[in-house]
A and B are shown apart, each in its own frame.
Chain A
Amino acid sequence: MPNKVLDARNITVTYKTEKGPLDTVRNVTLQICSGEVYGLVGESGSGKSTLARAIVRYLPENGFLKSGEIYLGDTNLLSLSRAEMRQVWGGRITMVHQDPNAAINPSIMIGEQIAEVARTHLKLSKQEARDKALEMLNKVRMADPEEVAKRYAHQLSGGMLQRVLIAIAMATNPELLIMDEPTTALDVTTEAVILDMIGDLMCEYNTAVLYITHNLGVVARVCNRVGVLYAGEIMEEGSISQVFKNKLHPYTRGLLGCVPRVDVNKKDISLKAIPGYIPQPDQLPSGCVFAPRCELVEPACRETQPLLNEIESGHLSACRRYEILKNYGEVIADTRQVQDEQEYGDLILEARNIKKYFPVSGGRSLFNKSRRVEVKAVDDISVRMRRSSTMGIVGESGCGKTTFARCIMGLEEATAGEIELEGELLPYAVAKRSWEILRKMQMVFQNPDASLNPQHPAGEAVARPLVLLRNLNKKAVRERVKELFEAVNLPEDFIDRLPHELSGGEKQRVAIARAFAADPVLMVCDEPISSLDVSVQASLMNLLVDLQESKGTSYLFISHDLSAVRHLSDWIAVVYLGRLWEIGSAEDVFIPPYHPYTEALLSAIPIPDPDIKQESIRLKGSVPSAMRIPSGCRFHTRCPRKIGEICEKKEPPWQDIGKYHQICCHIPQEELINLQGDGLIKKVQNTRGDIV
């Protein structure tokens, strides 16, 4: 019988705000045993981090624990003084924070930041603590620990810093480890490596882990048990297989329906977005908190608050109507009428051999211009796009995908290459392009907070392109703005709202409406949904698909999220270190043969289905600097399928695989097929035989 490490009962956390006291977490009970990884999932604003901070008694000044009991082993944490809590922090409970770049002190050496914990809690001498630091760096599989210990935070990559945080957290062999979105700030490939490592460490140590995340795929990969938090209350709790298979709460179902799947795409299904938004703590509905967004709602749901009931052993749900859910079956997404396979549209954009080199400031002396150092952000990328189709561009951060898109838009002046839009050769700089070209190409940026003027009402943002690019008169503009707001599913009275009165998803809808106002031929979407919650992501993806269908716009969709790209794209281009490695129709790219880089990206996707055992193909290290590009095949330094010297010496050739699929690799395609077998997607289809 494993012993209970954390026993937190009936936690209610209250914040004192201008609107009066608000209960942001209500009546949550959480128990974690040693050796168990408990995943706490929920959208932003659900109270995950507040709950974690309440457990360690580190709430902000205006927050306090209104009720509840927290036991760590036999210790009643609420009876401890602040000074006694410091003994617990870092010793018995440790934490790993979300943003590794921010959580490590920039002016203290890495080794010392691990050693200080060992000195404080393990009472080690200076030398012993230093040895402990090296031992821990070894444990988190850091290459060359001696060297890393002497470095500062800015000299390490995000993935390495996250290892350091984990090393710090595990140094004292804590009873409870709390991880707050530990991989959210990392690339998929790095995330996969870190998750593997966390899994292995948990086997070695017998720590109880509270793992907070918004990503259901990550939960399925590392956790044993999961709790779904919504608006400060637990909706469902159980083992991974209980929750992911039986899904006895409509919210859990909703969340899972929002995640795009890697085996089907926009032609087959539309994502099942949860309507509405998470309620603010001052506007909680009476009765069930999820009732306003629930499909199964009945009048009784709005009257009495449902209790969290144990339905089967260890599986709890706060839904009154869970019985109905039991019979609902597996289908969680709406299948779509597959339209007749249409011919590919005509060519609208052709970008040939685009290059963008940035000079490095400081690397060049006044007298010796030839010694100039350049960052080759984009180094020869060619792409063709057809009408009414979506080209997805994927790759790790720093691979040049955003720079490429900005070159197309003219926001960066390309160093070389040709950009042709509907047969017309475009100047590099946006300032030299005609109004008509500007109208034809629009962009949606990642961060709607930064791309909407905070002083201007939402309607004005949408009206600008109508006036500037389409010369409409006032009345026509007003009409069109109304239509556009309707098209992006925003109520009409939002036209007069200022950006700060809108949520993140609503702002991004305004940005999309603004882009469509110009009636563009091509829309460049640079990570438009990455900063949003899953349910909002799903509704935006559906919106993009619908708008494409009705308007015939083509999208250049940039994202590091492969499942989103897979869902939205007809074509996928895989970019690494400023160059293309694989391009083809979305279906083809997701089945073997793949480029080894694509293969690694695919195997890193966290899939929210605990039954799928993905092949783990992991990349070593991080993307090399674009100032020192490796010789031969640029990917050889990290390639898990490197075949030999040829990879280091010769640039690989393009191989045609079928009509619409090309791979740039030295390995012959027959051999790739042999190596990769059925590939990832086949396996997915096998386990989910019910679809396709």
Chain B
Amino acid sequence: MTSYLIRRISFIILTLFLASIIIFSVTQLLPGDVAGIILGQFATEQALINLREELGLNRPLHVQYLDWAGSFIRGDWGNSLTSRLPVRPMVMQRLGNSAMLAGLALLIYVPLGIFVGVIAALKRDKWPDQLISGISMAFVGLPEFVSGLLLITFLAIGTGWFPANSSIDVDSTFSEALPYLILPAITVSLTGLGYIARMTRSGTIDVLRTDYVRAADLKGLPARQVLIKHVLRNSLLPTVTVVAMGIGWLLGGLIVTEAVYGYPGLGRLIVYGIQRQDLPIIQASSMIVVGIFSLSNLSADILYGFLNPRIRVGE
């Protein structure tokens, strides 16, 4: 197990290293250079040369990369080119906001998805299954800007139950943010719910067909016990990994949802950085997203191994 962990973690380090090269190269390819962005389009040629000298932009690329990567590891993520504020606290705050949204969304869609998935599996090919499968299919396919706008139209503007705009203060606490989180969380949950329900359904159907479930039935165990102890313990294994891997998506991939609601999460920060060509923000937040994806993948595998005795307890 330890050797497995060491292998996996070294692999993550390699991933981060390769990602850092790609991120660094891509930011170099953006039109205009940092000096031009800082000084604006009316800058004199001399001012540009001086600033480039000052920022070290004349040095060879690999030196610049090492310099950037080195300070990134040390925790110096640079200052925003537009607001001049340090990038690290900014990214961390946004990450916190994303985590609040992710947490609430997980609380909504995981239990619900498992519940409807199990119902669909138990009523396989009958109307509850067809209804659930049909609706979850529709949810998975529905783009977030459509579902988000629909929710805003009916639950915010139409009824006034929830605020239509979630652009809260960046440093809000969870309780302050909660009313603003509900609609974005529901929007995200619609997609997540579909995935979880379908995964749970197919996993449960597979397990319901196994000999050991038939054997458990014929042991005369109460039906509830058969379902919870013999079926779900095995059938939820793939679902658990989907949930864990979904965390990466929730923390860094909600660009559209956050944009629809104006919610200040990490996704929104990336969009902001790209629009303003604010390189330190783009670089730092992209690295964080890569890191989160790697870690959530790792946690999914570890969790799976922990829950599955075939992996947890070797031969």
A: which residues have CB within 8 A of B?
Answer: 56, 58, 86-91, 94-95, 97-99, 102-108, 116-117, 120-121, 151-152, 154-155, 165, 168, 365
Contact = CB atoms under 8 A, between A and B. Distances in A.
A105 B220 contact: no
A104 B215 contact: yes
B84 interface: no
Interface residues of B, number: 25
Given A107-B234, A155-B313, A89 B218 contact: yes
B310 A120 contact: no
30 contacts: A56-B218, A58-B214, A86-B221, A87-B220, A88-B220, A89-B217, A97-B215, A102-B211, A102-B212, A103-B212, A103-B215, A104-B215, A105-B215, A105-B233, A105-B234, A106-B309, A106-B310, A107-B308, A108-B230, A108-B233, A116-B221, A117-B219, A117-B221, A120-B219, A120-B220, A120-B222, A152-B309, A152-B310, A154-B309, A154-B310
A365 B3 contact: yes
A152 B217 contact: no
A116 B217 CA distance: 12
B276 interface: no
A121 B218 CA distance: 12
Contacts of A116: 219, 221, 225, 229
B216 interface: yes
B46 interface: no
Interface string B291-305: 000000000000000
A117 B221 CA distance: 7
B315 interface: yes
A106 B311 CA distance: 11
Contacts of A103: 211-212, 214-215
A667 B315 CA distance: 35
Contact of B221 (A90, A98, A104): A90
Contacts of A56: 218
Contacts of B73: none
A120 B307 CA distance: 26
B84 to A, nearest CB: 47
B210 interface: yes
A258 B216 CA distance: 37
Q: Which of B210, B220, B223, B310 is most buried by chain A, counting CB atoms within 10 A of its CB? A: B220
Contacts of A58: 214, 217-218
A108 B234 CA distance: 10
Nearest to B307: A107
Nearest to A366: B7
Interface in B196-226: 210-212, 214-223, 225
Contacts of B310: 106, 152, 154
B121 to A, nearest CB: 14
A56 B220 CA distance: 11
A121 B211 contact: no
B169 to A, nearest CB: 47
A116 B313 CA distance: 22
Contacts of B210: 102
Nearest to B125: A61
Interface string B262-286: 0000000000000000000000000
A121 B225 CA distance: 14
Nearest to B308: A107
Contacts of B309: 106-107, 152, 154
A165 B225 CA distance: 19
Contacts of A152: 309-310, 313
A196 to B, nearest CB: 24
A97 B211 contact: yes
A89 B220 contact: yes
B210 to A, nearest CB: 6
Contacts of A89: 217-220
The 5 A-B pairs of least Cβ separation, nearest first, read: A90-B220, A89-B220, A90-B219, A102-B211, A152-B309
B220 A121 contact: yes
B311 to A, nearest CB: 10
A487 to B, nearest CB: 40
